[in-house]
A and B are shown apart, each in its own frame.
Chain A
Amino acid sequence: DVKVTQSSRYLVKRTGEKVFLECVQDMDHENMFWYRQDPGLGLRLIYFSYDVKMKEKGDIPEGYSVSREKKERFSLILESASTNQTSMYLCASSTPSETQYFGPGTRLLVL
Chain B
Amino acid sequence: AQRVTQPEKLLSVFKGAPVELKCNYSYSGSPELFWYVQYSRQRLQLLLRHISRESIKGFTADLNKGETSFHLKKPFAQEEDSAMYYCALRGGSYIPTFGRGTSLIVHP
Contacts and interface: CB of A to CB of B under 8 A. Distances in A.
Given A40-B9, A42-B99, A94 B94 contact: yes
Interface in A44-101: 45, 48, 50, 58, 90, 92, 94, 96-97, 99-100
A99 B43 contact: no
B74 interface: no
B46 A42 contact: no
A40, A90, A100, A103: which has the most chain B beta carbons within 10 Å?
A100
**Which DSSP category, helix, strand, loop or mixed, fits chain A's interface?**
strand
A99 B46 contact: yes
Contacts of A4: 43
Contacts of A99: 34, 46, 49
Interface in B22-68: 34, 42-46, 49
A102 interface: yes
Contacts of A100: 46, 96
Nearest to A102: B44
Contacts, number: 38
Contacts of A12: none
Nearest to B9: A40
B44 A90 contact: yes
B49 to A, nearest CB: 6
A43 B101 CA distance: 8
Contact of A42 (B49, B94, B95, B101): B101
Contacts of A50: 94
Given A31-B94, A97-B94, A99-B34, A43 B86 contact: yes
Interface string B90-103: 00001110111100
Among all A-B residue pairs, the 6 with the closest Cβ atoms: A42-B100, A43-B98, A102-B44, A96-B94, A104-B43, A99-B46
